[in-house]
């Protein structure tokens, strides 16, 4: 006759809680999720506002750089068309 072994297994069964406790836990979890979502929305709003401000600042800088480049080009053009501050000596004229 074959020998058989019997094993005893322990099964963990969580303690059942009342419906009120389950509802309270569920509500608390929802509140935590809502709080986290609200913080994410606030963080995203701040980032969007900062990005918009940064984009506006970059646009202003681009405009100012363009204006500066135009002014520099105008000054260079004026200098190249102006008569020299001191007369140039013509070395080929033959006069002494």
Residues 6+ apart with CB under 8 A from 17: 25
Whether residue 14 lies inside any domain: the answer is: no
Give the total number of structural domains in the chain. 1
Helices (H), the chain: 19-81
Domain that holds residue 48: 21-79
Q: In the predicted model, is pLDDT for residue 85 greater than 70?
A: no
Whether residue 49 lies inside any domain: the answer is: yes
Report the pLDDT value the prediction gives residue 49, as an integer from 0 to 100.
85
Whether residue 93 lies inside any domain: the answer is: no
Q: What pTM does this model have?
A: 0.43
Whether residue 89 lies inside any domain: the answer is: no
* Distance of alpha carbon 59 from the chain centroid: 16
From CA 51, how far away is CA 37, in angstroms rounded? 21
Q: pLDDT tens, 27-67?
A: 888 887 777 778 888 888 888 888 888 898 889 999 999 89
Residue with token string 């019997």? 6
Region of 20 on the Ramachandran plot (φ > 0 left; ψ -120 to 50 alpha; else beta) = alpha
């Amino acid at each position: 006759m074959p020998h058989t072994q019997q094993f005893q297994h322990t099964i963990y069964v969580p303690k059942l809680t009342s419906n009120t406790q389950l509802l309270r836990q569920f509500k608390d979890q929802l509140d935590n999720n809502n709080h986290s979502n609200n913080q994410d929305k606030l963080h995203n709003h701040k980032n969007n506002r900062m990005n918009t401000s940064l984009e506006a600042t970059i646009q202003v800088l681009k405009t100012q750089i363009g204006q500066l480049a135009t002014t520099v080009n105008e000054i260079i053009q004026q200098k190249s068309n102006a008569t020299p501050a001191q007369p140039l000596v013509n070395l080929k004229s033959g006069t002494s």
